[in-house]
Amino acid sequence: MRLRVEFTTEPFDLDEAPAHAVVARQVIEAAELDAVDVGPFGNTAEGGSDAVLTAVDALLRKTLEAGATRVSLQVNVIEADGEGDE
């Protein structure tokens, strides 16, 4: 199964990326995901379900530790191959 995660971390700072946003970018870019798109107001990544769920776990833990006061995320199934998790 393939998943897409979309997420933002808060609080926002338009002048300088806060530490939690930098950490979020590092976590997602280091994960074994494809189609990563990191932007100032929203981020998306796609991959196999195990890789996405592992990345989401790390994302939540590390961004909260880095000062995020809110993490909003949405996870969608984008392809089910009928063969279980990738």
12-67: per-residue pLDDT in tens?
A: 887 888 999 999 999 999 999 988 998 777 899 999 999 999 999 999 999 999 99
Residue 59 near residue 71, CB atoms below 8 Å: yes
Calpha distance 46→55 (Å, rounded)? 10
- Over residues 1-10, mean pLDDT: 95
Contact 7, 18 (CB under 8 A): no
pLDDT at 78 over 50: yes
The pLDDT of residue 83 is 52
Instruction: Write down the pLDDT at residue 64.
Output: 97
Residue 3 has pLDDT above 50, yes or no: yes
Per-residue pLDDT at 38? 82
